[in-house]
Structure 1
Amino acid sequence: MAILTINAGSSSVKFTLFPSDADTPRASGIVERIGLEGTRLKARRAGGEAVETPVPGADVDRAVEVILEALGHPQHGVIAGVGEIEAVGHRVVHGGERLTRPVVLDGAAKAYLESIVPLAPLHNPHHLRGIAACERHIPHAVQVAVFDTAFHASLPRHAFLYGIPLRFHAEDGVRRYGFHGISHKYVAGEAARFLGRPAEGLRLVTCHLGNGCSVTAVRGGRSLDTSMGFTPLEGLLMGTRSGDIDPAAVLYLMERHGFSPAAMNDLLNRRSGLLALAGVGSNDVRDILAAARNGSNQAELAVEMFCYRIRKTIGAYAAALGGLDAVVFTAGIGENAPEIRRRALADLGFLGILLDEALNESPAEGPRAVHAASSRVAVLVIPTNEELEIARETRQALAEQRRP
């Protein structure tokens, strides 16, 4: 039997198939460019070559159908039929305040997800379409939602409330939710395993650095604070997002330039961050670092701003945790940009954080330590695996449902 993980987005559906009782995937892939020209399926089974198939005009429902056809393909597939799939784990960005752990999707849970679409209008509608498609094409399978916000449900009130009248939290749900929780939870658990220490005794700062970036303070395996807030816009400088900005500056710009709320939202989420600052026409850190090395002062400023905010947040979370055992880097930038790691940790020697330059620059793959032997704080690079975390949590929800 098998567990299928699904991540349905605005223009793609990603999938991975796991055995029900093991963590090694049997197949994975993506239907990409949904709603655009050139829609195609890219799929690979374990140990096999990638197979590409055009899927012209596919929507999310058709994408799920094509994925299932590929998984059961007589030559390239890995299952005899969809009957082998006993559960589907769906990545869902926002679970609101009620859905704070993996949940088997029934009518009430789906109705609640519909009700909180305004909290995640760019993400949750696509997840709901993916859920509906899987219910249609795999009706016997248990559908489980795994939430990016759930790991941060442990934030204390003093960390998740804003300094505005409390009625806006009670009536409108305005609070800090945090995101990237699936990734932060996964790497926190892997860090404990790597260090050979129980998670209950560890104080970690996990840094998920990709196009979207967030930092989380983890104590005893639970999120204590995180840099993203009501939306993923809060916190660090990111690829195209501004990160923290004085709300009065936003109001000032709206009044001065006549920006509508939609235009301002677009500016802050899609046309700011490294893209706006670096002056290279790209938000790819590799391009920006190359420009900085070639003498671009603007690109150098963007890199320094990016690393400064990470460094400042690590220091703040060391204070919130009352000490620090390890800093963990993950996601595309965190795993693959040694210069960013080095600059983000610069001047943190007073916390006991010392990098080994050779280890940090090494192109080694997999979980690894990059701190100096004399460092009091471990510095780890741990590749994230959100699909595996979703599969594990789906497995757990399935076991709980079956428990008498």
Structure 2
Amino acid sequence: MFHFWKFPFWRSNRLSPILDQEQEKQQEIEIEESELDTKTSFENMMSAQPSQQQLLVSKIQLMTPVEKALVLKSIQTSIENYLEVESEFISLKSFDTCLQDLISTMTEPTNFLDKKFLFYCYGLILRESLEKVNVKMYLIALLEMSHQVACQREGIALAVGLASSSHWEVAWAVLEQFGQKRIMTFGRKSVASKVMHDIYWKWASSTALLCYGQMAIHAKNSSLPWVDKIMSKMVYYFNYSKYDEVLKSSFLSATVKIAIMLKRENSGKGYMFKQIPNLIDCILIIFQKEPQEFFDSYFQQKSLQVISTLSSLQPGLSTKVKTKVLRICFESLFVLPATEMLAGNLSGQDIPPGIESLHNKTMENLDQLLQSFLSENETMEELQFLLQSGS
């Protein structure tokens, strides 16, 4: 059994070099609010209410195409009206009658509503619309909304993912069109021409990453070839887009969802995933960009879990890829100061809680990844090469 050095978890305001105040403030909010787990807090809340969820679905199924269209338009208007509202919750009294009637299935009339619920309803209606509703038109309208706010990006992705479970090829085509029209065009514009719409479309690629992650969660076993295509798109957008904390958060969130989906009931067993090494390369790039003076997020812990899951899929990782993973992980984690040394570097500040727990989980994940790599080597020569190259 391998024993590793301890390192600290410490959140710093110094998130990335040379940030203007507005961007720095935005990224600090992103770090605080982002949850790099399989589900957001809103999705966890919804999954805890299966009976009410089913009531909502049943009500949607009884709606006529005209009624669905009216509610979808009402949701679009509500999202646009409350986009700039800082609070994530909106009073139900703000909505029109048809939308209030639908929402009343899940909450009391006097309550406030999580903004993401609007996107959730939007996606459910599209999922349950198998005819006479222009799903493509409504998905395009959704993606044309602002991508500036984190809950907006997550909400758009949630709706796209739900719709894709019944309209996979339509959702894929819409994302392709969105990538060409907004992400690629924005990337090709000169710096001067970007100024006006910079914030509006700046994180559109991060929305696309979140959408692909949600599509993977809602994919069926028959969609495994599409999951490989999803990985390819994620790799492309990651490498094409300007790197920042928002992109990092969105990429990891999407990769976690893919890993969970493939691990779920061994759904990826027997399929040859060609894009796994490229996806892992992107994770390693982020690893190398992480601060070496402190432990800034849960990124390393989650990434190690993702790599471990992906490495178990076919065709498996080559010895060259495994040694690269170990080398970068070791170099990134072992240069960090020991946890007990942190107190002397904080000038009297308290050490944030959870350091030891995060440290233990991360080291356990690294140890499990290493043990997994070692067990997969078929010969002593391969094992020796792996150990020598990773050290």
TM-score (norm 2): 0.30
Identify the structure with the greater strand proportion: 1
The structure, 1 or 2, with the larger RCO (C-alpha pairs under 8 Å, 6+ apart) is 2
